[in-house]
Structure 1
Amino acid sequence: MRSSMVGWDESGQRRADPEREPRPPEDNLFLSLTPERAKVLLIVAARTSSFTVVAIVALVLVTLFAAGSGLTGASGAIAASWLAVHQVPVVIGSTTLGVLPLLPTGLVVWFAARDCARAVEPNSSRIDLGWIVGAALSGPFLITAVCLAVAEDAASVVALRPPNTLAAFGWVIGLHLFAAVAGILSRRPELVTPYLPDWALPGARAALRAVQRLLFAGTVLTLISFLAHWSRIGETYSAAGNFAGVAGLTALSLAYLPNVVIDATSVLLGADVHLGVGSLSLFSVAGAPIPALPILVSVPAGPAAAWWPVLLVIPAAVGALAGSDCARDSGDGIRTPWSTLTAAGLSALAVALLGVVAGGAAGSFGDLGPGVWLSAGLTLVWLVLAGYLGLLAARWFPARPRARRAAPEPVYDDEYDEDAYDDYPEDGYTYEPDRDGSIVDGEVIEEPPALVSPAAAKAAENTEILDAEVVEPDLPDGRRTDGR
């Protein structure tokens, strides 16, 4: 007797039950890639890289035509420029150029991060985010591989030595990975915040503000020094020749402006900046030959003035502000300054990374750039000591609360209505919830009913209410009034 739940066909064979048969697992990795999503990922992979290549090609061609040279080394110059934008050291003959302009690098990282942030949706899964990261790395990886092959081929025509392959891919992948992660976290910070302690996020915000303040101070110092040595700027343009040379030197100076700002920030911290065989700090200046760039006229020739060490009050003030920020945004106490220490550590790490990318070898001039370890160490010291003082000041002298604006008293027309005060809350305001749940100011407006006809409304206005009295007739005793 076939009483089981298994199906049987007319020939007596067992019929497969599609609901009971095991199904192959779904490939969520590839099923999540819809055509619309593929279009977004293509933009992430190609837009920033393609724009960068187009800008490099245009710049190289304009430079070659302005110099009056042929297009023999155009391909090698384009490949070297792509690698230089990603901070890969370029070797021309026996000269190594390791100190590369940071402005193009910053623009590429910013555009890549913006594309990744735009590709993130509120309901994006981890697989979708993985697709975004993969797309952000695939385009630069492919272009870097092509540029390495072109540089290898151009080495037989021009004096261009191909860079180290591992270093080239490491710089390119590292920069674009940083941009992708930064762009994703800017839209989805909840991916990491649940795993962090309570004091980590306030410390990270304080570190970001501290680094921004230090760089702003370095920018102001660079501008002041540049204006103070303006008379020397004509010497840097003396070898420019024509208008194209002047425009090229000006554009190159703007590209190296972030490097000079980072150097000035290191000087403000109390560290020294290497100028080949010379150095520069708040305490001494050892002169040395430097490249003839207009932006480098801001480098003082020396000697160091006696009042320069007074500028150390700037990093002290930045550290105190960071400590007060941590005291306000977190639960930092006198015995548990965890956010303050986190801000100091992250700020020191950021200064060290900026120092690494801002300096390097400059051919016959030697190494140019800040002392990385000393700058990072002094940043840590300033933000720990001055930051702890700022924390103590914020705890001992808390900020006074803002005065609350007095609520207006309700105004009535003629008579005092005691029940009308029940319509007002204690603060004297009326609030009405909006559709999205937010609270907005509101007032009650009496409107005529929408379903009343105009004729009935007019008749109701002309109707006068007369004094009336309801009189019940006297009924005999014992008689009911309910009709029974």
Structure 2
Amino acid sequence: MTVPTSDPPRRGRRTRPEPATVTTPGWLPVLARVALLPPALLYGVAVVLAGVVAALASGTTPGGEPGLGQALAVGIPLWLVAHLVPLQVTGVPLGVLPLAPALLLATLIAAVARGAVRRLGPRAEARGPLHGALVPVVATAAAAHAVIGVLAAALLTPETVVDASPGLAGVTCGVLAGVAAYAGAARPCGVPALPRTLAPWVRHGLRGALLGAVGLLTAGAGLLLAASIADATAVHDVVADIAPEAGSGAGLTLLTVAYLPNAVVGATAWLAGPGVAIGAASATPMEITSGLLPPIPLAELLPQSTPPSWAGLAFALPLAVGSAVGWRLAPTAPDVATRVRSTVTAAVGAAILVGAAASLSGGRLGAGPFDPVSIPAVPVALAVLGWILVPGLVVALLAVPIGTSGTRRVPSRPARTEPEQPDAATEVTPDEDVADGDATAEDEDGGEVPHEGVRPGGDARG
């Protein structure tokens, strides 16, 4: 006789299937990818570009001897330049750094960080965004780029023509990588772009700030394109003079593309009013000072003649951007005070964004007549503040009548239709009173009369 060790399943009862185990990669491989993939890929691209330019130049330059060692050596300072690390070239400073490689690098870091958070999601979901995958991913990216930046700067010495400060390189590389990794990992971790704890007028104002900054930079890009078309002959002559061969032409093309965002910010500063200065040469819509310019196509676009009388019409573009911000914020609040607060927030935010871009776009350029390249951040920020605040306030207050928000509100309950000739002796109260149990209504003499449809005892009629 055998005794069953466990109760057999009853007939008709379904056994629950065991939950499938989700296999996720370990922390170490994913964090190693975050730490090593962007720096390695960036260095590989830098080496390839240096090798291609050197190979093209060797065919047209006498004595050119390109090699793998030379490309590997040139890739180190290019790697630092992409992280916006200031350099010393033959003892003179180079602080005007191209923004295009930095933007591409930040995009790559953000994409890798986003992918890492999604791969670690099942492991980090129970621990919350701050204690789950967000902090390890961001800290890994920042620390890896900081350490590699210090090592890369330490490999450069004054004897190698290019030099950099290891401490400054570590800080700059770490901050850029950390900000980019946070931008990519925040949303998959559940961190909202605008916290819901902020007041609605603050959220609307921050969105208006982004709209104003993007609108002004777009206007600057359009101005730069128009200037390039108008001065196409002068730009072609500069390219033909300084880059007649294939190698030098390729290098000049890469240089122009790399500094294109800097030129867009400079054109935006010109539109706002403070303008741009390269050494002794400067240009604003109202005044121009002539001077020597670097032999590059983008510098050729800086005006060198007396501005025409219609140059002041350029101010219509920032005026239109400020008006668009006010139009966007007008229907977000029904009262004056809230609209004013939203518009002020938008103006201050746009000024900070454009001012930060201006501070990153200029800097030292050697120690000669082209030094420095100045896009004054504080004057540009103050000008943007005025261009967004003044027309924005006017449009925000006048576009929508005060007391209305411009948005349709859905009524909480349908409107009731009152009888045309109610009887004073049997006048009924609203349905809400009946629902609350109030079955009587006051007549004209102040006495209580039975509610229609309700007996004196309180029982409703059938």
* Superposition deviation, residue 308 in structure 1: 0.8
Which has the larger displacement, 259-268 or 201-210? 201-210
Q: CA deviation at 1:41?
A: 2.4
Per-residue CA distance 1:368-392 (angstroms, 9 max, x = gap): 1312111000111111111111211
Consecutive aligned runs of 4 or more in structure 1 exceeding 4 Å deviation? 70-76, 397-402
Identity %: 27
Q: Does 1:321 align with 2:324?
A: yes
- Between the aligned partners of 1:360 and 1:105, the Cα distance in structure 2 is 16
Q: 1:94: which partner in 2?
A: 91
Partners of 1:131 and 1:299 in 2: CA distance: 46
State the partner residue of 1:125: 129
Secondary structure at the residue paired with 2:42?
helix
Q: Which runs of 5+ in 1 are unaligned?
A: 1-32, 403-484
1:379 equivalent among 377, 384, 394: 384
Between the aligned partners of 2:175 and 2:406, the Cα distance in structure 1 is 46
Which one of 117, 134, 140 corresponds to residue 135 of structure 1?
Answer: 140
**Residue in structure 2 matched with residue 212 of structure 1 by the alignment:** 214
Cα contact 1:274–1:280 (8 A) shared by 2:
yes
Question: Distance in 1 between the 2:386 and 2:398 partners?
Answer: 18
Please say which of residues 170-179 and 373-382 is displaced more in the overlay: 170-179
Shift of 1:75: 4.7
Number of aligned pairs?
365
SS in 1 for 2:295: coil
Aligned to 1:353: 356
Equivalences for residues 24-423 of structure 1 within 5 A: 35-67=25-57, 68-69=64-65, 71=67, 74-121=71-118, 123=125, 125-127=129-131, 128-152=133-157, 155-156=158-159, 158-161=160-163, 163-187=164-188, 188-190=190-192, 193-237=195-239, 238-328=241-331, 330-331=332-333, 333-336=335-338, 337-363=340-366, 364=368, 365-396=370-401
What's the secondary structure of 2:54's corresponding residue? Answer: helix
Q: What corresponds to 1:471 in structure 2?
A: none
Tell me if structure 2 keeps the 8 A contact 1:75–1:150: no
1:332, distance to aligned residue in structure 2 (A): 6.6
Give the secondary structure class of the aligned counterpart of 2:243.
coil
Range with greater deviation from structure 2 (67-76 or 99-108): 67-76
**Contact 2:100/2:259 (<8 A) preserved:** yes
Conserved in 2, the CA contact under 8 Å of 1:44 and 1:136? yes
Q: How far apart, CA to CA, are the structure 1 residues paired with 2:405 and 2:290?
A: 48
Q: Which amino acid in 1 is paired with 2:298?
A: I
Call closer, same or farther: CA 1:119–1:134 in 2, change over 3 Å: same
Quote how far apart the aligned CAs of 1:322 are: 1.1
> Residue deviations 1:93-141, cap 9 Å, x none?
2321111111111100111122223333473532221111122213312
Task: State whether residues 267 and 273 of structure 1, in contact with CA within 8 Å, keep that contact through their aligned partners in structure 2.
Answer: yes
CA distance in structure 1 between the partners assigned to 2:78 and 2:171 by the alignment? 17
Q: Secondary structure at the match of 1:126?
A: coil
Distance 1:191 1:214 in 2: 22
Deviations 1:16-39 (A, max 9, x none): xxxxxxxxxxxxxxxxx9744433
Cα–Cα, structure 1 residues 203 and 151, in superposed 2: closer, same or farther, change >3 Å? same
- Between the aligned partners of 1:265 and 1:191, the Cα distance in structure 2 is 26
CA distance in 2 between partners of 1:291 and 1:220 (Å): 23
The Cα shift of 1:256 comes to: 0.9
Asked if the contact 1:222/1:261 (under 8 Å) is kept, the reply is: yes
CA displacement at 1:230 relative to structure 2 = 0.9
How much is the aligned-residue C-alpha RMSD, in angstroms? Answer: 2.4
Cα distance, 1:394 vs structure 2: 2.7
Partner Cα distance (1:226, 1:210) in 2: 24
Write the distance in 2 (CA, Å) between the matches of 1:332 and 1:37.
50
TM superposition shift of 1:254: 1.2
Partner Cα distance (1:75, 1:36) in 2:
33
Give the secondary structure class of the aligned counterpart of 1:274. strand
The secondary structure found in structure 2 opposite 1:194 is: coil
Q: Which moved more, 1:121-130 or 1:350-359?
A: 121-130
Q: Secondary structure at the match of 1:292?
A: coil
Take 2:347 and 2:112, find their aligned partners in 1: how far apart are those partners?
A: 31
- Could you say what secondary structure the match of 1:279 adopts? strand
Q: 1:263 touches 1:369 (CA, 8 Å); kept in 2? A: no
**Distance change >3 Å, CA 393–CA 44, structure 1 → 2:** farther
Checking the alignment, whether the CA contact within 8 Å between 1:76 and 1:151 is kept in structure 2 is no
CA contact (8 A) 2:53 2:250 kept: no
Q: For structure 2, which runs of at least 5 residues remain unmatched after alignment?
A: 1-22, 58-63, 409-462
Counterpart-to-counterpart distance in 2, 1:79 and 1:324:
48
Note if contact 2:278-2:371 (Cα within 8 Å) is conserved in structure 1: yes
Cα offset, 1:73, TM superposition: 5.2
Tell me which residue corresponds to 1:408. Answer: none
Larger Rg: 1
Relative distance call for 1:332 and 1:74 in structure 2 (3 A) is farther
- Cα deviations across residues 199-245 of structure 1 (Å, max 9, x unaligned)? 22221111111111111111110011111111112332212131121
Structure 1 residue 314, shift from structure 2 partner: 1.2
Alpha-carbon separation, structure 1, partners of 2:246 and 2:196: 57
TM-score between both structures, scaled by the size of structure 1 = 0.70
Distance 1:274 1:191, change over 3 A: closer
